[in-house]
Amino acid sequence: MTDTVHGTGSQHPTDRLAGLDTALYLVTDTAQCASAGRSVAQTVAEAVAGGVGIVQVRDKTATDAAFRRLTEEVLEAVERTRQREGITRPIPVFLNDRVEIARDLLAEGTQVHVHVGQTDTPVTKVRELLGPEPLIGLSAAEDEEFAAARASGVVDLLGVGPAYETATKADAPAGLGPQRLAELVARAGLPCVGIGGITADRAAELRGTGIIGICVVSAICAAPDPRAAARALRTAFLHGLPAADESGED
């Protein structure tokens, strides 16, 4: 597998993202993986083999103890797959909020990162708790949110969306579409990935919007073959090729 750094149309890539393949970012969904007959770790392993370059562990209902176990399983799956597939680039694992768990793992020498939403732990508090090394991701979709993220000086990556209509979040607003997404990304002033309703068919439409990658949930977690789904998504985004037969969306 090639070690491509950043996706197409990079928007202000920073040194802190150097060496990463940002083209395809997976957010895990425990229930969707289970419905597809796999564990989260199994899904992640296949997805990384197919080209996922960033993983976010997300489970809003898990207890802290269960979430920590889940994170450890994902970390192990990522490292095992990197070794098996000969992947030399780092594949960062983000925790969705759960800052205390991230702090505990970091204190033990395990490298993790954190992504938060607008109503989660404030990014400045995340940086205060975790120190200077971990990457911090933030969900944002408004000019005021972009401005606050820039002013904080601690945000490394923005998740902007929903790019399209999505069923993953019941309270998600209407899909932005490629043109509106491009307008937002141009004003964000930080590296951005697009998220929400992205399928392999739609991924090609997001080329040229300024995002450095696409972020998906069900397009991989609910897919019958996560490795093939990841490969199709990544290829469509990087090269504009049509999807084969994977049709899940996030």
Annotated binding-site residue? 63: no
Annotated binding-site residue? 218: yes
Annotated binding-site residue? 84: no
Annotated binding-site residue? 171: no
Provide the residue type at 201 as one letter. D
Of 43, 92, 27, 98, nearest to 65 by C-alpha is 98
Annotated binding-site residue? 58: yes
Annotated binding-site residue? 56: yes
Annotated binding-site residue? 116: no
Annotated binding-site residue? 8: no
Annotated binding-site residue? 21: no
Write the burial class of residue 184 (CB in 10 Å: 0-12 exposed, 13-18 middle, 19+ buried).
Answer: buried
Distances (CA, A) of 106 to 102, 131, 141: 6, 10, 29
**E strand residue ranges, 154-229:** 157-160, 192-195, 213-216
Give the Cα separation of 116 and 123 in Å (integer).
7
Annotated binding-site residue? 228: no
Annotated binding-site residue? 39: no
Annotated binding-site residue? 167: yes
Annotated binding-site residue? 180: no
Annotated binding-site residue? 18: no
Residues making up the annotated binding site are: 56-60, 96-97, 120, 139, 166-169, 197, 217-218
Residues making up the annotated binding site for Mg(2+) are: 97, 120
